[in-house]
């Protein structure tokens, strides 16, 4: 069996690993346009703030790929998929496949910002190459401006704070991390950012760059404020990379459309996984892009199991995220708002907000109060009826909340001792 995988990040590599675990003799070729061996994309912000060395960004040792006969083709973009001939065209020539995985991920969405074109100090922040460029460009006299207060923008800002003279984050929404936090949680994070020297401008955006030659020197906000800027990071969001799939005739609707159980696309023997696909959220049954690491890994694995004929239905997507800014730990899962949902809040330790609908947990926000957070994730994933549990849901979750039968079954895995 010949497998070809386009993309060498979370979904691509988990697919390659799972394919190898399920078949010794197949050939596995992974193509990436990047110059690096497969690395952890979220780690680029830790590299920016010098928390990890460059040697420590990789997902596996080079030996791993040799031992498992997984051929990683770096700097080798795939330019076309020919579904009829079952080949892909790459910078290294044509490769044929029996089964193909598209795991092209996402690309930064760069909105038109007046006067920013071709400036040497305007960056995005999504891959290691960019992180290296920013790191070598930024210095102690740099005034950095980040457009966008999402996960990527704030991580860039945190990293830049370690290097630059000033860091200002400009966000169009009225709160930071609008996609994962409720108002109160977002306010706590904003306070932490402020305390650590990051200026945050909400409900505003960069209207125009002012420059000298090929360098941006300041930005003018929509509100009229002018902020000095010698380094601009545009991090307003990402878009799924679907061009290859679309050109090959695969059905795309924002993300690549896939069968939610198998990850197969509208064309036979072509699968897709990760940030480039529409996932179906088990909590609201909506098709959406869930551009988060654990989701991509799981989808890559599911695709591999079907590609290799060991199919096992996908266990379903939902958002889970853990991140920290300046030591403030934020864990979120599921939905942040839903119609007719009830909100349970505790400020006992840090901030805990649980979202309950129809007697089931459907989301949480935990800030500096994440002890045993995964037990809440379990309740969300399994849609456990909350009336089968005892105790206060807002207390630190424990196995004592389950009935004896459930507790024993889960802890012993059915083993009698």
Find the angle CA(38)-CA(42)-CA(47) to the nearest 5 degrees.
Answer: 90
* Among 82-90, 263-271, 335-343, 398-406, the segment contacting other proteins (CB under 8 A): 398-406
> Please, which of residues 329-368 interact with other proteins by CB under 8 A?
329, 331, 333
In whole angstroms, what is the distance from residue 384 CA to residue 41 CA? 33
Helices (H) and strands (E) in the chain, counts: 10, 27
Nearest approach in angstroms of CB 407 to other proteins is: 7
Total binding residues toward other proteins, as defined by CB under 8 A: 48
First to last CA, the chain: 44
* Among 102-110, 145-153, 207-215, 289-297, the segment contacting other proteins (CB under 8 A): 289-297
Query: Which of 118/390 has CB closer to other proteins?
Result: 390
* Among 51-59, 76-84, 92-100, 131-139, the segment contacting other proteins (CB under 8 A): 51-59
CA 122 centroid distance within chain: 22
Find the angle CA(102)-CA(288)-CA(250) to the nearest 5 degrees.
Answer: 35
Find the angle CA(409)-CA(383)-CA(355) to the nearest 5 degrees.
Answer: 125
In whole angstroms, what is the distance from residue 26 CA to residue 1 CA? 5
Choose, by CB under 8 A, the member of 28, 305, 323, 362 that binds other proteins. Answer: 323
- The site string for other proteins over 227-266 (x = CB under 8 A, - otherwise) reads ----------------------------------------
Residue 140 interacts with other proteins (CB under 8 A): yes or no: no
Choose, by CB under 8 A, the member of 24, 285, 340, 417 that binds other proteins. Answer: 417
Nearest approach in angstroms of CB 226 to other proteins is: 36
Choose, by CB under 8 A, the member of 1, 27, 36, 58 that binds other proteins. Answer: 58
* Among 88-96, 205-213, 237-245, 402-410, the segment contacting other proteins (CB under 8 A): 402-410
Find the angle CA(87)-CA(100)-CA(73) to the nearest 5 degrees.
Answer: 75
Burial pattern 5-18, b for ≥16 Cβ within 10 A else e, equals: bbbbbbbbbbbbbb
Choose, by CB under 8 A, the member of 134, 263, 320, 336 that binds other proteins. Answer: 320
Choose, by CB under 8 A, the member of 1, 37, 52, 199 that binds other proteins. Answer: 52
Take residue 36 and report the two structure tokens written for it.
Answer: 């690096």
Burial status of residue 61 (CB atoms within 10 A of its CB: 0-12, 13-18, 19 or more): exposed
Spell out the residues 6+ positions from residue 175 whose beta carbon is closer than 8 angstroms to its own. 149, 181, 183, 186, 187, 190, 202
Choose, by CB under 8 A, the member of 93, 112, 213, 413 that binds other proteins. Answer: 413
* Backbone φ, ψ for residue 239 (5° rounding): -125, 145
* Among 239-247, 268-276, 281-289, 376-384, the segment contacting other proteins (CB under 8 A): 376-384
Choose, by CB under 8 A, the member of 22, 26, 60, 71 that binds other proteins. Answer: 60
Other beta carbons within 10 angstroms of residue 138's beta carbon come to 23
Choose, by CB under 8 A, the member of 301, 302, 356, 365 that binds other proteins. Answer: 301
Residue ranges binding other proteins (CB under 8 A) = 14, 40-43, 46, 51-52, 56, 58-60, 293-294, 297-298, 301, 320-324, 329, 331, 333, 370-375, 377-378, 381, 397-400, 404, 407-408, 410-415, 417
């Amino acid at each position: 069996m010949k497998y070809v995988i386009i993309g060498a990040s979370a979904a691509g590599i988990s697919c390659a690993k799972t394919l190898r675990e399920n078949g010794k003799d197949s050939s596995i070729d992974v193509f990436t346009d990047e110059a690096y061996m497969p690395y952890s994309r979220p780690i680029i912000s830790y590299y920016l703030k010098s928390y990890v060395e460059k040697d420590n960004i990789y997902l596996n040792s080079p030996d791993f790929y040799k031992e498992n006969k997984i051929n990683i083709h770096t700097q080798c973009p795939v330019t076309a998929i020919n579904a009829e001939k079952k080949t892909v065209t790459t910078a290294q020539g044509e490769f044929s496949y029996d089964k193909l995985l598209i795991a092209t991920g996402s690309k930064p969405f760069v909105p038109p910002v007046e006067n920013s074109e071709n400036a040497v100090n305007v960056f995005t922040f999504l891959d290691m190459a960019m992180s290296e460029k920013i790191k070598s460009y930024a210095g102690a006299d740099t005034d950095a401006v980040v457009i966008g207060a999402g996960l990527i923008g704030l991580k860039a800002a945190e990293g830049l704070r370690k290097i630059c003279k000033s860091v200002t984050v400009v966000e169009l929404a009225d709160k930071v991390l609008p996609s994962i936090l409720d108002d109160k949680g977002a306010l706590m994070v904003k306070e932490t950012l402020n305390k650590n020297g990051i200026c945050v401008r909400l409900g505003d955006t960069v209207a125009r760059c002012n420059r000298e030659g090929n360098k941006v020197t300041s930005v003018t906000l929509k509100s009229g404020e002018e902020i000095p800027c010698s380094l601009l990071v545009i991090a307003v969001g990402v878009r799924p990379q679907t061009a290859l799939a679309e050109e090959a005739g695969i059905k795309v609707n924002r993300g690549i459309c896939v069968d939610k159980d198998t990850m197969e696309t509208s064309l036979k023997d072509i699968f897709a996984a990760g940030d480039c696909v529409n996932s179906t959220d088990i909590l609201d049954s909506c098709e959406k892009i869930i551009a988060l690491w654990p989701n991509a890994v799981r989808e890559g694995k599911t695709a591999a199991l079907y590609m290799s004929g060991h199919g096992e239905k996908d266990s379903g997507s939902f958002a889970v995220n853990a991140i920290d800014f300046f030591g403030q730990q934020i864990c979120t899962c599921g939905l942040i708002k839903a119609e007719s949902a009830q909100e349970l809040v505790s400020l006992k330790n840090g901030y805990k907000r649980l979202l309950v609908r129809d007697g089931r947990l459907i989301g949480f926000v935990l800030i500096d109060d994440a002890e045993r957070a995964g037990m809440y994730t379990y309740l969300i994933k399994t849609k456990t009826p909350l009336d089968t549990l005892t105790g206060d849901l807002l207390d630190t979750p424990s196995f004592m909340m389950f009935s004896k039968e459930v507790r024993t079954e889960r802890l012993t895995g059915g083993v009698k001792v």
